[in-house]
Amino acid sequence: MTTLQDCQRLDAQDPLRPLRNLFDLPHGVIYLDGNSLGVCPKATPARVAQVVQQEWGQGLIRSWNTAGWFQWPQQVGNKIGRLIGARAGEAVATDSTSVNLFKVLSLAMTLQAQANPARKVIVSERSNFPTDLYIAEALCRERGWTLRLIDAAELPTTLGPEVGVVMLTHVNYRTGAMHDMAAVTADAHGAGALMVWDLAHSAGAVPVDLNGADADFAVGCGYKYLNGGPGAPAFAWMNARHATRLGKDLWQPLAGWWGHAAPFAFTPEYQPAPGITRFMCGTQPMISLAALDCGVDTVLAAEPLGGMAALRTKSLALTDLFIQLVEERCAGHGLSLVTPRAHGQRGSQVCLSRAEGAYAIVQALIARNVIGDYRAGDTQQPDILRFGFTPLYLGFEDVWNSVEHLRQVLESGEWQRPEFNQQHAVT
């Protein structure tokens, strides 16, 4: 049996422990929702204030040059690139995940339409995050393609000669299940399809090697494990081989002036900028990019301590411990583990299901300052209690305490109180 003292000992021995000091965690809060909205880094308020007061307030329009604003999307993109196996110039921080997905997916469809016009099917998972499916469906309607939704296990058998693009989220937002990126990408390519990955629950959470897997396109989120703040710019990635091969002919559908090779030439003809820069559309949000930059820096701060590999080791230790303690200390309360036990198939979160009361249990935990979240089920999937583990700012004692609160909430029946059973707009 693991004890509270064991957990405290693990924290004392944890080489990543100092990284917690990079954040402004509210006192007494155990934050298990960094997979939805990361914690505010200590550096962010001053940096944002500096952008507003000095760079905008005093520098005014000169700051596009003097503060280097114009290059921030690529600079932050390159920093994110270090976390996802991108080469310099392959990733850009811009727009939202949904908008970036529209751009990369549309371009992947165009590439297939030129090379293999008979391939008119996008394959994705039924359990993918809804916005990904809506964007794919919208593009299919526009282009006369079909969106084929499958369960993960059906993937190998569904890749026929009609499939143009496989679009998957690497770590599932509901279950925390993780795909083998290299193997799935190889299967997609073997079947003649292009591979698009959504890294919303991967970037800053698990090691990712897009070039190692030889993927085609990827998008990901800035406000989850990258701690960029609410509505932070997302990112887009494209394998350099596409830009190298197609150059000027490679347009994304939102071909705005910021993606032009020479925006300030103001020419009437569009000519895409080299590399990933062409994935920008219009003027970029500098205040938000400054906050995202601070967030990405908190993840890069782990580089001297072993980087994503060290974060992954700790993340697995935290999620292993959470699973073990829930099974030891909350047994008999109807909770079942939804997230895969196998390390190779698990992201940085643990999801539990319960036939009744999942929403109310999460509310009762939040009232005790243990913040996780709830995702509703449907006819195929149960309601879920979702707990994200960000190794940058969570420790082993936090895991112990969160399970102890969960045990008390279940044992006392406290979750049955009416105030915990009223649903809010944002869950």
**Catalytic residue set:** 129, 198, 223-224, 386
CB of 201: closest distance to ligand PLP in angstroms? Answer: 5
Please name the residues in contact with 283: beta carbons below 8 A apart, sequence gap of 6 or more. Answer: 258
Q: Is 254 in the site for ligand PLP (CB under 6 A)?
A: no
Which of 139-147, 196-204, 362-370, 371-379 is the region at the interface with ligand PLP (rule: CB under 6 A)? 196-204
Q: Is 373 in the site for ligand PLP (CB under 6 A)?
A: no
349 — alpha (psi -120 to 50), left (phi > 0) or beta?
beta
Q: Token pair for residue 46?
A: 């001053």
CB of 75: closest distance to ligand PLP in angstroms? Answer: 21
The nearer residue to ligand PLP, 221 or 338, going by C-beta atoms, is: 221
Q: Is 198 in the site for ligand PLP (CB under 6 A)?
A: yes
Which of 71-79, 129-137, 149-157, 247-255 is the region at the interface with ligand PLP (rule: CB under 6 A)? 129-137
Q: Is 131 in the site for ligand PLP (CB under 6 A)?
A: yes
The nearer residue to ligand PLP, 63 or 319, going by C-beta atoms, is: 319
CB of 272: closest distance to ligand PLP in angstroms? Answer: 23
Q: Is 235 in the site for ligand PLP (CB under 6 A)?
A: no
Size of the site for ligand PLP (CB under 6 A): 13
Which of 50, 75, 98, 158 lies at the binding interface for ligand PLP (CB under 6 A)?
98
CB of 174: closest distance to ligand PLP in angstroms? Answer: 9
The nearer residue to ligand PLP, 78 or 94, going by C-beta atoms, is: 94
Which of 127-135, 189-197, 235-243, 272-280 is the region at the interface with ligand PLP (rule: CB under 6 A)? 127-135
The nearer residue to ligand PLP, 272 or 372, going by C-beta atoms, is: 372
Contact 126, 132 (CB under 8 A): no
Name the one residue in this structure whose structure tokens are 């809060």.
29
> Which residues face 178 on adjacent strands?
171
Rounded to whole angstroms, the Cα distance separating 375 from 243 reads 39
Please name the residues in contact with 285: beta carbons below 8 A apart, sequence gap of 6 or more. Answer: 233
Rounded to whole angstroms, the Cα distance separating 321 from 404 reads 13
The nearer residue to ligand PLP, 97 or 112, going by C-beta atoms, is: 97
Which of 96, 146, 345, 416 lies at the binding interface for ligand PLP (CB under 6 A)?
96
φ, ψ (nearest 5 deg) of residue 64: -55, -35
CB of 324: closest distance to ligand PLP in angstroms? Answer: 27
Which of 195-203, 206-214, 296-304, 309-317 is the region at the interface with ligand PLP (rule: CB under 6 A)? 195-203
Q: Is 129 in the site for ligand PLP (CB under 6 A)?
A: yes
Q: Is 97 in the site for ligand PLP (CB under 6 A)?
A: yes
Residue 299 CB-half CA count within 13 A:
31
Rounded to 5°, angle at Cα 299 from 298 and 303: 110
Amino acid identity, position 416: Q
CB of 104: closest distance to ligand PLP in angstroms? Answer: 12
Q: Is 173 in the site for ligand PLP (CB under 6 A)?
A: yes
Which of 112, 127, 169, 288 lies at the binding interface for ligand PLP (CB under 6 A)?
169
Q: Is 232 in the site for ligand PLP (CB under 6 A)?
A: no
Q: Is 80 in the site for ligand PLP (CB under 6 A)?
A: no
Q: Which residues bind ligand PLP (CB under 6 A)?
A: 96-98, 129, 131-132, 169, 173, 198, 200-201, 221, 234
